[in-house]
Chains A and B, each alone.
Chain A
């Protein structure tokens, strides 16, 4: 069960990071070209983005991850159907 929870958390984190990079693409580029972007800056940046996941309860994280997976499954089915056709 704990393993499953961890997986959900990891999946959610990856979703959150992906979505963040989508929403803030422009700003992230600017930061990466800033003068002080050196040394640990990249891990700090990633960590700071990732921090936001703590605002979501485990249940909400699961909802979003489940929705994502349901979506993927639906896509997968669709593709399979196409393939078989």
Chain B
């Protein structure tokens, strides 16, 4: 090398030397004392060495200010004076140039290629601007300097500096710093003009952003690399530029790409700055359009940011206070990605349609008629329905590509991000797994597999988007089945993989597989429910889709048999696994029963084994609790499986599954056992007709409560209960018949409350056999107190009193021992059970535990007078002088004031002459009304004339039936009022024929059977009819007519209508009361219409105390008014008892 040197000429060599020397040669400087001296030092000098000397001296002054050293104030004063004195004079038409000498020097240096000065000038200027930025008073100078920099000449100098050779970072970096200071000055006042001059100011920016720190060790933030400076310049622009300029900036593709390239290699402080600016100035900038955001936050950028996951945490450096305000890199990246990818308001994720792939949406928005035409041909007529099993087009393509680069299985944060993206854009889920072919779920006990399993768990757990992704309602067409299915059972969960997981020898793997299947079934259940919600008919396209979904689901999941055989292999102490497996089996039965039932699986042995385990368990409380959960699942399975033998006793068990569970439920403390078990027991007891339940309470509750109350029950009693339950379940009919026989003996009155309990009958039937085996005295004692408790609780639960009394008697008889018998019947507290229940019927001398309700029944009855006040209706009579009075009245008054009605009533007079006279007068009156101007004259005439025609023959033989007379009077009231709800019906009746039949009750049929003319007037019509009936009952003939026309039957059944109000029910009673007022009426009502039993039934179902008494008093009234001897014989004395 030395040899070659000697060949070169001196000049060249000198030049070369000079060039290299520039870098190393330290500049000279001198201490500055006055602004004058400074001005002198900076005066333009042809000798660049001198110029550099001046610049260096100036730099020392600035450094002293910037570093806050002891001479700061002195130097600051020098600087102020210098700036003031060097401020250009304002000359018209001349652009002021600030610091002209320095600019001149810079130009000269550039011309001479003196790199030291080319570097020194921006260094000094950048420093100067930084000091100015921190001092409001100086800003005008700063702005002046910056404007000077934007002049063409300076722009060229800047551009030249920026595009210096790659290695010349000592020139490039200060220039970038200078620009950054200029942009940041005065809150970015000049940011836009500087950006506009980007041809120079951003010269080679993309290249410069690639010039990283290449030394060893870490980059020192104080001696930042070109990339750091260039990036900071760009970030400042992003922060400070207004919207449009920012848009233009982000459209510079090379710059944006340069920013994100190899992000992970940047020093942490720079990464933090970049992420911070991206977050605050891009993502959170709501004014910036999504399309522009995507320019910088594209798939490449997102992937680059995602590389920051797992970025090592920097030990916090106390000295770098600027650094501390940033989050750790990984967290900042995570936050940025979350905001970018999941927030549709500010991020880049676009609105999508959930399970409807891109391109199908227009179809689902078709109008109803189009859809109807389209859908007639079923799911297969929709062209896209089967298209998406291998590819799912999405709207968020960018995100779709990006998420493929994530590694969610090995990083919790990445998994969190992916799930958040899935939740925000469910359309991506199916696509992700279709694209992620490398994601295989074949079991392997490795961290990666666990990561896979965890991810799948979270994905399956994600909720189904409302309406499957449509915004406010279900679409006409369901989403593609394959897409729905991929969301429920993601493609990696292949049948093969799942089966291998189940049969894997690792417990953890099979446990995870089972958990996944549980979630999948639960999700399927929800999806099916949503399908059902939409489908209007079983043949709808949604139903078809649901069926197809279930069919396809079958293909993806293991058979229930495999789950069961896996369950059988589990050890006793594998509590979680056993619980999960039993839960899964139950879900098979609940969600896809078709498949589950195919397995024909007998659950009883498993149920038995689990029951034994729970019973025998002496482990920790939580273990028993979780075993109980498992047991509950199995019981629920048993409930669903038709082959379950609830009452069959297994060889190794003392009692049947039913009794065993009953014992378990009543013996284990309530805190441990949930409602599920009691619900299942009640369900079984009802199914097998052991008890009678109603909607409010289960018939098994009294037994459970009594058993719980009795405490530790002897095994002999359990065997007895088991035996009885088994008998009862085997031959329920036998016990029901026994109840019927028993209840046959019970008074009619008691039959109102007919809730009974076959199991109790079987207890009573079997007790003698137990007693005959002469069991221990203690057992009998316990049994007796159990029975007492059971009977009492049954009574409270609403079982028939009479029934319980019978059972009590039978039990007392069976137990034989008087002392024990009295124990059953509560001898200690009050009286015998028999008397006890008697008391409940209302015996006044009893003092014990009668309830308020039963007390109410003992209250005094209604007296006959009270009854009359309530139910008696005065009989219609005609006014005096009716025959004559009418002729002097105008037609309106005849109708409106009742003269006509009064005259009509005379048609039923006892005296034939009066009847005849009345008939003649009615004819005259009809003519008078017809000829008048009375509005309703025609109809009134028609009514009267029809009455006349009907009566003409009848009055010769006797009084006209009250029915016709009363009808005519009441019809008059209706005709005068066209708004009456029966106006139409009466008119129709009048026009239907000229003569009324005497054995036909007008309007009864049309009112009771045809429904109201006006909406909502049904009960008004009924009320009218009832009033009509009461008035029409005046003679024995009337009762006979009612009998023939079956009026009472209709009335009594009318009351069965639960919507009938108390007033209408009372009106019915009024009819009955009127009947009792007529000789022989009560007999007819009792013998022909079962009025007494009807009243008893009414009384039993009456809610109101007053009403109960009314019914009871009515029974008394019937008895008093009937031929008591005859009725007593007829009823074999039973009616007397009821009084």
Contact = CB atoms under 8 A, between A and B. Distances in A.
Interface string A9-38: 000000110011001101110110011111
B559 to A, nearest CB: 22
B580 to A, nearest CB: 7
A44 B451 contact: yes
Contacts of B134: none
Given A27-B508, A44-B454, A48-B454, A20 B576 contact: yes
A39 B412 CA distance: 10
B664 interface: no
Interface in B507-523: 507-509, 511-512, 515, 518-519
User: Size range of the interface on A?
Assistant: 35 or more
A7 interface: no
A34 B450 CA distance: 11
Contacts of A39: 310, 410-411
Contact of A48 (B450, B574, B622, B629): B450
Interface in A44-58: 44-45, 47-48, 51-52, 54-55
Nearest to A11: B622
B411 A52 contact: no
Contacts of A37: 446-447
A81 interface: no
A48 B620 contact: no
A38 B409 CA distance: 12
Given A27-B445, A36-B447, A66-B671, A48 B457 contact: yes
Interface string B485-517: 000000000000000000000111101100100
Given A19-B576, A44-B412, A44-B454, A67 B508 contact: no
Given A36-B447, A44-B410, A23 B575 contact: yes
Interface in A70-85: 70-71, 74
Contacts of B577: 23
From A16, A37, A45, A52, residue with most partner B Cβ within 10 Å: A52
A43 interface: yes
Contact of B625 (A41, A63, A74): A63
A64 B581 CA distance: 18
B512 A48 contact: yes
Contacts of A71: 620-622
A31 B450 contact: yes
Contacts of B511: 23-24
Contacts of A5: none
Nearest to A54: B461
Contacts of A24: 507-508, 511
Interface in B1085-1105: none
Interface in B450-471: 450-451, 453-454, 457-458, 461
Contacts of A55: 515, 518-519, 580, 583
A37 B451 CA distance: 11
Contacts of B519: 55
A3 B420 CA distance: 26
Contacts of B509: 27
B937 interface: no
B622 A64 contact: yes
Nearest to A50: B454
Contacts, number: 122
A64 B626 contact: yes
Contacts of B507: 23-24, 26-27
A34 to B, nearest CB: 4
A27 B506 CA distance: 6
A63 to B, nearest CB: 5
A8 B415 CA distance: 26
A64 B576 CA distance: 12
Contact of A40 (B310, B461, B506, B508): B310
Nearest to B620: A71
From B411, B458, B576, residue with most partner A Cβ within 10 Å: B576
Q: Interface of chain A, helix or strand or loop or mixed?
A: helix
A6 interface: no
B877 interface: no
A44 B447 contact: yes
Contacts of B221: none
B671 A47 contact: no
A65 B509 CA distance: 26
A9 to B, nearest CB: 15
B332 interface: no
A71 B622 CA distance: 8
Given A39-B310, A48-B512, A59-B674, A67 B622 contact: yes
Contacts of A36: 410, 446-448
B624 interface: yes
Interface string B575-590: 1110010010000000
B515 A70 contact: no
A68 B410 contact: no
Contact of A51 (B413, B457, B506, B620): B457
A67 B621 contact: yes
Contact of A30 (B445, B448, B626): B445
A60 B512 contact: no
B674 A63 contact: yes
Contacts of A59: 674
A13 B580 CA distance: 16
A56 B571 CA distance: 21
Nearest to B675: A59
From A15, A19, A40, A51, residue with most partner B Cβ within 10 Å: A40
Given A19-B576, A48-B454, A48-B457, A35 B622 contact: no
Interface string B537-566: 000000000000000000000000000000
A43 to B, nearest CB: 5
B632 to A, nearest CB: 9
A19 B576 CA distance: 7
B327 interface: no
A63 B674 CA distance: 8
Interface in B629-688: 629, 671-672, 674
Contacts of A52: 515, 576, 580
Nearest to B309: A40
Nearest to A37: B447
Given A41-B410, A66-B671, A48 B451 contact: yes
Given A27-B506, A48-B450, A70-B671, A40 B410 contact: yes
B441 to A, nearest CB: 13
Contacts of A19: 575-576, 622, 626
Contacts of A54: 461
A78 to B, nearest CB: 13
Contact of A68 (B453, B515, B573, B620): B620
Contacts of B412: 40, 43-44, 47
A67 B672 contact: yes
A33 B242 CA distance: 55
B454 A63 contact: no
Contacts of A51: 454, 457-458, 461, 515
A68 B629 contact: no
A79 B458 CA distance: 43
Interface string B433-448: 0000000000001111
Contacts of A41: 410, 447, 450-451
A11 to B, nearest CB: 10
Contacts of A74: 621
Contact of B450 (A15, A35, A44, A63): A44
28 contacts: A19-B575, A20-B576, A23-B574, A24-B507, A26-B507, A30-B506, A31-B450, A36-B447, A37-B446, A40-B410, A40-B412, A40-B413, A44-B410, A44-B411, A45-B450, A48-B451, A48-B453, A48-B457, A51-B454, A52-B515, A55-B580, A60-B674, A63-B625, A67-B622, A67-B624, A67-B625, A71-B620, A71-B621
Interface of A: 15-16, 19-20, 23-24, 26-28, 30-31, 34-41, 43-45, 47-48, 51-52, 54-55, 59-60, 63-71, 74
Given A39-B410, A47-B454, A51-B458, 5 more contacts: A36-B448, A44-B450, A59-B674, A63-B629, A68-B625
